[in-house]
Amino acid sequence: MAADCPRVYKTGRTLFGSGHLAALSLHPARVLVVDDEEDILLAAKLLLKRHFTSVETLRDPARLADLVRRNGFDVLLLDMNFTAGAEGGTEGLALLSQVMALDPQAVVVLITAHGDVSLAVEAMKRGAADFVTKPWANERLLATLIAASNLRQSRLEASEFRSRSRGLAEATRIDGEMVGTSPAMLRVFQMIRRAAPSGANVLVLGENGTGKELVAREIHSRSKRAQEAFVRVDLGTLSPQLFESELFGHRRGAFTDAKQDRIGLLRAASGGTLFLDEIGNVPLHLQGKLLTALERREVTPVGADRPQPIDVRLICATNLAAERLADENVFRQDLLYRINTVEIALPPLRERPEDIPLLLEHFIAIYSEKYNVAPKRLSAAALDGLMAHAWPGNVRALRHAIERAVILSEGQMLELSDFSLGGGGAAQGSPASAAAGPESSRLDSVERDAIARALEAHGRNISRAAESLGLTRASLYRRMQKHGL
Ligand SMILES: Nc1ncnc2c1ncn2[C@@H]1O[C@H](COP(=O)(O)OP(=O)(O)OP(=O)(O)O)[C@@H](O)[C@H]1O
Ligand SMILES: [Mg+2]
């Protein structure tokens, strides 16, 4: 579910079990040098072991695949020719392809003799990271290998991130498709179908729980980038201190806690879709930084001197009303124009009660299956009551109400009394609170007031309200639903 999406990904990957003290000043990378000449191997080892935590050498290329499979090196320094007298470099190319097939994140630096440069270019097309010429200059070799180990780090993070977000995309697809029959929702579906393949930037507007994230995921999964990452960034909870480092990444040592290079969420999304959620909550002074990155299509990681390109399809969402967004004291208008090429506004559920029967059917089927009960039916009175309810928490609240009713109801038929609709916004009195004792109802009303106040104070920004109450988003949603807020 949306609330469970990770906002940040793991950092501080530990490449090595225990840190040997002497290793602290070394670059944390396992390097393998492959060459048929013993002298070269010895020279390389002597030089590199003073700079990297682990350096191994290999003379016999026949053992390379096995070694890579078992040890997964961070950087390979690979000679191009092995057989005596061989100069064509075909051996090196074949080994390179073998390594890249075993580990697509492998970082291979080639050693070439002078004159092999066109061959090196061919090798780089096949995935080699860089090349050095023989005989090498120590400084240049070191600089190349350090850059290569940084590249390895970024590739690993990006790949971990991609596989994680692919997993999430799968999970939400199972979580459900989007349904609706109201004219307003049919228009939304049509816009999704048209906008998705275009690659245009999309801004999704709507109250909490109206399905903004679902729209973003639909657009991604119908776009040309469907096989790439869908990266959601919750800007509502990103602290101003972490804003740049989380979004743009940082270099090792850029600040005290920066123990490793970090790729940043914008670059992690590169190739795929970047979903900037709660964009209306970015403070004005940070909106400028975001705009610059989006305009230039590049980010400069904190502590880096060169910008890095990003290639993302941008989808943004906010629960701010369109009028608030149009107020330049709240939102930079140049940023607005950058993100709202296509604007999709999701109407609140109370304005489209004709969608309620289909949503009910949809969620009853989902939860009956999930909880392994025979599909429940809905009484006519229950349907009327649910359609007359104002649903301030929109589709999410409806969904939770159905889940609870499916779990708690005893018979085959769901009655209105199986749904605890809460006081506010309900068409009828809440059976649940009527049944509760005076003590618990007093507690309930304290809780309700606290939540209502927090929501008000944070402009119904769920992330912030939840944070101020010390709750997770999910549990705040549950309580909002309980109190009909
Ligand atoms: N039209 C719909 N059809 C089916 N399920 C829906 C629909 N709209 C919303 N939902 C479901 O309602 C829940 C809330 O949707 P979503 O998280 O996309 O809302 P949101 O607008 O991003 O909310 P918030 O602003 O609170 O983050 C999800 O479980 C989603 O699957
Ligand atoms: Mg959302």
Q: Nearest CA to 274 among 320, 219, 237, 325?
A: 219
User: Which atom of ligand 1 lies at the shortest distance from residue 211's CA?
Assistant: 18
Q: Which of 204, 214, 366 to mutate to test the pocket of ligand 1 (most atoms within 8 A of CB)?
A: 214
Query: For ligand 1, is residue 213 a contact (CB within 6 Å)?
Result: yes
Residue 73: inside a domain: yes
Q: Do 63 and 194 have their domain in common?
A: no
- For ligand 1, the distance from its centroid to the CA atom of residue 236, given in whole angstroms, is 17
**C-alpha to C-alpha distance for 261 and 193, rounded to whole angstroms:** 39
**C-alpha to C-alpha distance for 179 and 207, rounded to whole angstroms:** 17
Please work out, in degrees rounded to the nearest 5, the angle formed at the alpha carbon of residue 237 by the alpha carbons of 482 and 484.
15
Q: Do 330 and 185 have their domain in common?
A: yes
Q: Do 106 and 220 have their domain in common?
A: no
Residue 11: inside a domain: no
CB 402 within 8 A of CB 388: no
pTM, 2 dp: 0.62
- For ligand 2, the distance from its centroid to the CA atom of residue 312, given in whole angstroms, is 20
Residue 242: inside a domain: yes
Q: Do 328 and 367 have their domain in common?
A: no
Q: Which CATH number is 435's domain given?
A: 1.10.8.60
Which range marks the domain in which residue 466 is found? 351-483
Residue 408: inside a domain: yes
Q: What does residue 132 show for φ and ψ, rounded to 5 degrees?
A: -125, 150
Handedness of CA 236, 237, 240, 243 (dihedral sign): negative
Q: What is the pLDDT of residues 119-162, one digit of tens each?
A: 777 888 888 998 888 888 899 899 999 999 988 888 887 777 66
User: Which atom of ligand 1 lies at the shortest distance from residue 355's CA?
Assistant: 1
- For ligand 2, the distance from its centroid to the CA atom of residue 36, given in whole angstroms, is 57
Residue 281: inside a domain: yes
DSSP single-letter state for residue 302: B
Q: Do 374 and 472 have their domain in common?
A: yes
Tally of domains within the chain: 3
What single-letter amino acid sits at 422? Answer: G
- For ligand 2, the distance from its centroid to the CA atom of residue 277, given in whole angstroms, is 7
Query: For ligand 1, is residue 347 a contact (CB within 6 Å)?
Result: no
What single-letter amino acid sits at 244? Answer: E
CA atoms within 13 A on the CB side of 74: 24
CB 444 within 8 A of CB 436: yes
Q: Which CATH number is 123's domain given?
A: 3.40.50.2300
Helix axes 138-175, 38-48, angle to 10 degrees: 80
- In Å, how far are 391, 402, 420, 447, 452 from 424, measured between CA atoms? 9, 18, 11, 14, 11
Q: pLDDT tens digits, the chain, 485 residues: what are they?
A: 333 332 222 222 222 323 333 334 788 899 999 998 899 999 999 999 999 999 999 999 999 999 988 887 999 999 888 776 666 778 888 899 999 888 888 899 998 876 667 777 788 888 899 888 888 889 989 999 999 998 888 888 777 766 666 555 544 443 458 999 999 999 999 999 999 999 999 999 999 999 999 999 999 999 999 998 899 999 988 888 888 888 998 888 888 877 777 888 998 898 999 999 999 989 898 899 999 999 999 999 988 888 888 999 999 999 999 999 999 999 999 999 999 999 999 999 999 999 999 999 999 999 998 899 988 999 999 999 999 999 999 999 999 999 999 998 988 899 999 987 765 444 333 333 333 344 556 667 778 888 888 888 888 888 888 888 878 787 888 788 778 78
Q: Do 294 and 386 have their domain in common?
A: no
Note the pLDDT of residue 155: 81
Any residues with CB less than 8 A from the CB of 266 and at least 6 apart, and which? Answer: 247, 248, 249, 274, 293, 299, 310, 312
Note the pLDDT of residue 54: 93
Q: Do 113 and 189 have their domain in common?
A: no
Q: Do 338 and 359 have their domain in common?
A: no
User: Which atom of ligand 1 lies at the shortest distance from residue 317's CA?
Assistant: 22
What single-letter amino acid sits at 101? Answer: A
Residue 169: inside a domain: no
**Which residue has a Cα nearest atom 16 of ligand 1?**
211
Q: Do 361 and 291 have their domain in common?
A: no
Note the pLDDT of residue 164: 62
**Which residue has a Cα nearest atom 5 of ligand 1?**
178
Q: What percent of the chain shows pLDDT beyond 70?
A: 86
**C-alpha to C-alpha distance for 434 and 440, rounded to whole angstroms:** 11
The distance from CA 217 to its chain's CA centroid, rounded to whole angstroms, is 12
- As a whole number of angstroms, the longest Cα–Cα distance in the chain is 94
Note the pLDDT of residue 195: 96
- For ligand 2, the distance from its centroid to the CA atom of residue 423, given in whole angstroms, is 25
Q: Do 143 and 33 have their domain in common?
A: yes
Any residues with CB less than 8 A from the CB of 34 and at least 6 apart, and which? Answer: 57, 58, 59, 61, 64, 76, 77, 78, 79, 95
Q: Which CATH number is 254's domain given?
A: 3.40.50.300
Query: For ligand 1, is residue 178 a contact (CB within 6 Å)?
Result: yes
Residue whose tokens read 């225990």: 18
Q: Domain ends where: 347, 379, 402? A: 347
Strand partners, 75: 31, 107
User: Which atom of ligand 1 lies at the shortest distance from residue 473's CA?
Assistant: 26
Nearest listed ligand to the Cα of residue 209: 1
Q: Domain ends where: 115, 133, 151? A: 151
Any residues with CB less than 8 A from the CB of 191 and at least 6 apart, and which? Answer: 342, 344
Q: What is the pLDDT of residues 210-255, one digit of tens each?
A: 999 999 999 999 999 999 889 999 998 888 888 888 899 888 888 8
Residue 156: inside a domain: no
Residue 164: inside a domain: no
Query: For ligand 1, is residue 335 a contact (CB within 6 Å)?
Result: no
Q: Domain ends where: 322, 347, 372? A: 347
Q: Do 325 and 356 have their domain in common?
A: no
- For ligand 1, the distance from its centroid to the CA atom of residue 268, given in whole angstroms, is 25
Q: Which of 352, 360, 399 to mutate to test the pocket of ligand 1 (most atoms within 8 A of CB)?
A: 399
Tokens of 309: 């390109």
**C-alpha to C-alpha distance for 269 and 158, rounded to whole angstroms:** 8
Q: Do 270 and 319 have their domain in common?
A: yes
Note the pLDDT of residue 263: 85
